Structure 1
Amino acid sequence: MAAASDTLNFNVGVLGHIDSGKTALARALSTTASTAAFDKNPQSRERGITLDLGFSSFCLPVPQHLRPLGDYNRLQVTLVDCPGHASLIRTIIGGSQIIDLMMLVVDVTKGMQTQSAECLVIGEITCPRMVVILNKIDLLPEAKKQVAIDKMMKKMQKTLESTRFNGCPIIPVAAKPGGPDAPETETPQGISELVELLISQTYMPKRDPSGTFLMAVDHCFSIKGQGTVMTGTILSGSVSVNDNVEIPSLKVSRKVKSMQMFRKPVNTAIQGDRVGICVTQFDPKQLERGLVCAPDSLRTLYAAIISVRKIPYFKGSVHTKAKFHITVGHETVMGRVTFFSPAPEDFESDPRMDCFVFDREYLYQEEYLSQAKDAGADRGQASTQAEGGKLPRQQWALLEFEKPVTCPKLCLVIGSKLDTDIHANTCRLAFHGVLLEGFEEKNYAEVSLPKLKVFKLKHKEGQVERVSKLIHQYMTSVTSV
């Protein structure tokens, strides 16, 4: 039986606009497919688009630059194929949170499109490294191919200048020459060069087996006579055969009977590993996607306080009392937001990203405070600034969920306007943050919120007529003297 400790698993997300060729690229790179790969979902095959996360992998010897950093014999690259359709952004966000490196797939004949841009924004929030794939170079006229590729490379470099991925590698490929209906004998172009590039971009991601076990489950199915299998990526800690794990959404615990990593049995899996866990039987339809954890390690929250940042590409202001789609892990629920900041005298205080302090006083904000103009603001529309033009170094938001969510502390939170027209050329992602404090009581407004000291600054203007008359009398007497 293989040991997970022999293999370093490195998760690479495949993101981009619909029809950019993401699934074809994952297929061209992969040697092993999971039970959910290459659009095996019947609806995916029928509609010709990816509807869910797909997983596949290929293995290589551990590259030279990683050998001194751990005792691994091989590198397993797990490809997370994310859907590109705008209506499936919840799934894209969930997939992005489990990747170590992102491949942004761009159709070389079309360039950046709406969902390409949203994927870029998600990548900036969730991922430290990115490689841009210019796909479908086989569709370019041979005589003008290199000129067209060079032109698109320059456009992409310009687009990335103002992002955290400025200067990231860009590589041209043809994952499926001739398109989806071309014969399988057509050889993909640029794949060996892409593999070499991916190897050069690998690094030692955080892998700590000592933390509390937490796993993001993306597929669930039953095997007759064996049990129910939950497949997913371990977000923290480790799990072993015979451990008990909790399924919080079902409020049940189950014993781990066996585990596999891409069809190979293992006894133990750790943070970052892609694994299938077979547990004692339950109805898989009850858990299509969600979290599995060590017993009693997660909380169910009705509201939360997050350290928040607005996404600059979101047009216009982000107002208090507005409702957003709040994505926490693999869950997306509606929630109402209230923004607040430090008291003005504490605007320069160092940000605290690991906890929230209830003993301080905070200033209520009608909207998130940002620079005079965000990158995505409408022309001529300025975002609200704090008084005197100063901005606080940290801002917070109180999120009140319409349905309770189950999540760990310090997890990523993304607020979106997913009801925006998916055909509109606009970013739907509004803000992101880290969950610092959660409220587990259904009546949190009476029990917990009184601890939160948020005050409003009030200004009143008016004319005091009596004082005006006294001043007039005084000025008259001075003049007469």
Structure 2
Amino acid sequence: MGKQYYTIGMAGHIDHGKTTLTKALTSVDTDRLKEEKERNISIEPGFAPLYQDEDMEISVVDVPGHERFIRQMIAGVAGIDLVVLVVAADEGVMPQTKEHLDILALLGITKGIVVLTKISKVEEELRDMALEEVIDELKGTVFEGAHVLMADSISGEGVQELKQKVVNVLKSMTSRSIRGDFRLPIDQVFTVKGQGAVVRGTVFEGTLETGEGITILPQGIHTKAKQIQAHHMKESSAYAGQRAAINLSGVDYKELRRGNVLVTSTHFTVTNTIDVCLEVLHTVNHPIKQRMPVVVHVGTSEVMGRLVFFDRNKVISETDPILCQIRLNESIVAKRGDRFILRRPSPIETIGGGWIIQPNGGKYKFGKETMAFLQSERHGTPQERVLRLVEQYKCVDEDFIVREASITHKDLHDMLQVDDEWIVFSQSKVTHMKIVDECVKSIDQILRGFHEEFPLLQGINIGELKQSLKRYTGALVDYAIEQKHWKRNSGFLCLEEFIPHLPPEWEKRCNQLITLLEADGTQVKDKEEYFHQVGIPLKWQTDFYHFFIQEKKIVPLDDKKSYSYQVFMKAVEELKEKTGDLFDIADAKAALGLSRKYLIPFLEKLDKDGLTLRTQGIRKWIGNSIKG
């Protein structure tokens, strides 16, 4: 399985001993800023190594507890696997304790350990009361039934027991996947003299190697991982679940900020519209109104946006999840399943949070139809989401599917291999037999209509067919054509049972025309005279003329004159018999007895169709068949 990497978070009310407990556990003071030392409070998240052996590495993040630094707290707990909720025994559960609990639950963090700290400050009876209060407050939350321990950071009582409990709980958990595409939301940016820009964060997923190419989103800045460190130790790689510092090559640190994301693939969505499943906290003090401004926290990013409902205009209290949309003022990086927190900018309060259904939301109308669509997006399986994309776009790139359906390449490939209804063309184009069948029916319908309108023609030009099927790609049309036994001839397509034919009402006159043409032999009149003679109107003449050529009834000499097919072939055979392999105009005239009026077009037709090759007035026989 390889080494497992985890990050845990210390959360709780201000001055309940999170930083002191972190120092007792790790021997690291995570309050590194001057103002943090002066004010004795944590302003920015602090990080430290907690535990490491050959199988496991654990980092700890100490997040600010003051209500004014909730935004830093949210950024700090993004990406943690387990939380240690710290409650001071001498104060008990406080407002920030409850808000941290709400935020952790909304972020999907369900594994936690509760620690009563500062136990040396209170008598045993007060400890027991504080313990009962904590257990009671956890009822109905995701941390109901969590392990509750006691520890004192000054005396060291219970500290090692807590550390061992963290290790044991994490050993029972599945670590983050190192197989997916690498993603690291940045929570700290700084510069090191002589080294350049450095960013820190918790690796959400995937693996990064030293020297590997990186893209910084949403800016789209391309760079490389010049150096990787974990807790000040140089590493060759960074893995999902690990705290890492990445030294970036050729990037000005002033271009970067918290909330940017490092990735190594093109499959992540940069978006400013997200469809979400929102859970509203029961503690909300003010109505939530349609299109009200909100502060949105996703990963380590914090952006302003507007909340858009499609089935209501106001929320006063709601216990069921609400399917809605958030339109952001700035672009973020997101994928399906990412958790988010919503806060009201004024008056400041945490409204709720939830998860992203579709990171690339569209423009929808208010009403039931949109709600039904969002429900299908919410509950849809990966296969259903991919099928919806294919139904919309007919034939799509694998990379597009990975990005828009929020599915990994591995899961997509597994799905395509298991179900033979999926079809993969060259260049990783994907479609489904359902779409192929739909395309086949469309082609069939077009062919039937074409044959009814143009019964004289052998079929529709395949290029024209593709033009009339713009909703399908050319590769998909080609595949659909291969699936059904239509007749294909020289770039034309027709129904298998179709035979070009004259309209019944004109068949007799057309046959008369061919008879007249044959009767005139090699001394033919202009084609318009024959049409006039049998009474075929001008609007039909071009179509009938091409039909006669197509069906080898006539052979055109030039724009005006044609021979019947039989007369032409007889003249060719006669010329061959009366000349050798080489002949000139005089030889041809002697053989056929034609005037230059007919002889020159006849000989040029032989050249054009490849029956003869002319060189300086001398022709040589080289072919046996004629073109239309």
Structure 2 residue aligned with 1:26:
22
Q: Is residue 275–residue 356 contact of structure 2 (8 Å, CA) maintained in 1? A: yes
Q: Is residue 59–residue 74 contact of structure 1 (8 Å, CA) maintained in 2? A: no
TM-score (norm 2): 0.55
Question: How far apart are the structure 2 equivalents of 1:456 and 1:259?
Answer: 50
Structure 2 residue aligned with 1:58:
50
Question: How far apart are the structure 1 equivalents of 2:88 and 2:228?
Answer: 38
Structure 2 residue aligned with 1:251:
220
More strand by share: 1
Mapping of 1:197-208 within 5 angstroms?
197-202=165-170, 203-208=172-177
Q: Is residue 96–residue 122 contact of structure 1 (8 Å, CA) maintained in 2? A: no
275-284 or 234-243, which moves further after superposition?
275-284
Equivalent position SS for 1:282: coil
Structure 2 residue aligned with 1:82:
63
Structure 2 residue aligned with 1:303:
273
How far apart are 1:91 and its partner, in Å?
1.4
TM-score (norm 1): 0.71
How far apart are 1:171 and its partner, in Å?
1.5
Q: How many residues were matched structurally?
A: 366
Structure 2 residue aligned with 1:429:
350
Structure 1 residue aligned with 2:99:
118
CA pair 295-105 structure 1, distance change in 2 beyond 3 A? same
Q: Is residue 229–residue 244 contact of structure 2 (8 Å, CA) maintained in 1? A: yes
Question: How far apart are the structure 1 equivalents of 2:159 and 2:360?
Answer: 49
Structure 2 residue aligned with 1:313:
283
Cα distance per residue 1:51-97 (max 9 Å; x no partner): 11110012254xxxxxxxxxxx2322211100111111111112222
Structure 1 residue aligned with 2:247:
278
Equivalent position SS for 2:211: coil
Question: How far apart are the structure 2 equivalents of 1:325 and 1:400?
Answer: 11
Which of 289, 314, 319 aligns to 1:367? It is 314
Q: Considering Cα pairs closer than 8 Å and 6+ residues apart, tell me whether 1 or 2 has the greater RCO.
A: 1
Structure 2 residue aligned with 1:383:
none
Q: Is residue 222–residue 281 contact of structure 1 (8 Å, CA) maintained in 2? A: no
Cα distance per residue 1:7-62 (max 9 Å; x no partner): 4222110011111111111111005x5xxx6111122122221111110012254x
Identical residues among aligned pairs (%): 24
CA pair 152-246 structure 1, distance change in 2 beyond 3 A? same
Q: Is residue 196–residue 253 contact of structure 2 (8 Å, CA) maintained in 1? A: no
Question: How far apart are the structure 1 equivalents of 2:282 and 2:295?
Answer: 18
Mapping of 1:57-456 within 5 angstroms?
57-61=49-53, 73-126=54-107, 127-140=109-122, 145-176=123-154, 187-202=155-170, 203-290=172-259, 291-340=261-310, 364-368=311-315, 395-420=322-347, 428-439=349-360, 448-449=362-363, 452-455=364-367
Question: How far apart are the structure 2 equivalents of 1:434 and 1:166?
Answer: 22
CA pair 175-147 structure 1, distance change in 2 beyond 3 A? same
Q: Is residue 90–residue 330 contact of structure 1 (8 Å, CA) maintained in 2? A: no
Which of 33, 36, 39 aligns to 1:44? It is 36
CA pair 47-266 structure 1, distance change in 2 beyond 3 A? same
Equivalent position SS for 2:288: coil
How far apart are 1:407 and its partner, in Å?
2.9
Question: How far apart are the structure 1 equivalents of 2:71 and 2:13?
Answer: 15
Residue segments in structure 1 that go unaligned for 5+ positions in a row? 62-72, 177-186, 341-363, 375-392, 422-427, 441-447, 458-481
Structure 2 residue aligned with 1:385:
none
How far apart are 1:401 and its partner, in Å?
1.7
Question: How far apart are the structure 2 equivalents of 1:263 and 1:152?
Answer: 38
CA pair 165-249 structure 1, distance change in 2 beyond 3 A? same
Cα RMSD after superposing both structures: 2.4
Q: What amino acid does structure 2 have at the position aligned with 1:26? A: T
CA pair 60-146 structure 1, distance change in 2 beyond 3 A? farther
Residue segments in structure 2 that go unaligned for 5+ positions in a row? 370-628
CA pair 338-192 structure 1, distance change in 2 beyond 3 A? same
Question: How far apart are the structure 2 equivalents of 1:302 and 1:129?
Answer: 31
CA pair 456-196 structure 1, distance change in 2 beyond 3 A? closer
Q: Larger Cα Rg: Structure 1 or Structure 2?
A: 2
Question: How far apart are the structure 2 equivalents of 1:60 and 1:247?
Answer: 30
Q: What amino acid does structure 1 have at the position aligned with 2:357? A: L
Question: How far apart are the structure 2 equivalents of 1:94 and 1:292?
Answer: 15
Q: Is residue 10–residue 84 contact of structure 2 (8 Å, CA) maintained in 1? A: yes
Question: How far apart are the structure 2 equivalents of 1:230 and 1:76?
Answer: 20
Q: Is residue 244–residue 295 contact of structure 1 (8 Å, CA) maintained in 2? A: no
Q: Is residue 151–residue 158 contact of structure 2 (8 Å, CA) maintained in 1? A: yes
Cα distance per residue 1:448-478 (max 9 Å; x no partner): 41xx243289xxxxxxxxxxxxxxxxxxxxx
How far apart are 1:396 and its partner, in Å?
1.0
CA pair 437-321 structure 1, distance change in 2 beyond 3 A? same
CA pair 196-439 structure 1, distance change in 2 beyond 3 A? closer
Q: What amino acid does structure 1 have at the position aligned with 2:90? A: T
CA pair 75-438 structure 1, distance change in 2 beyond 3 A? closer
Equivalent position SS for 1:208: coil
Q: Is residue 103–residue 341 contact of structure 2 (8 Å, CA) maintained in 1? A: no
Cα distance per residue 1:327-380 (max 9 Å; x no partner): 12212222221223xxxxxxxxxxxxxxxxxxxxxxx21234865xx6xxxxxx
Question: How far apart are the structure 2 equivalents of 1:254 and 1:161?
Answer: 48
CA pair 134-8 structure 1, distance change in 2 beyond 3 A? same
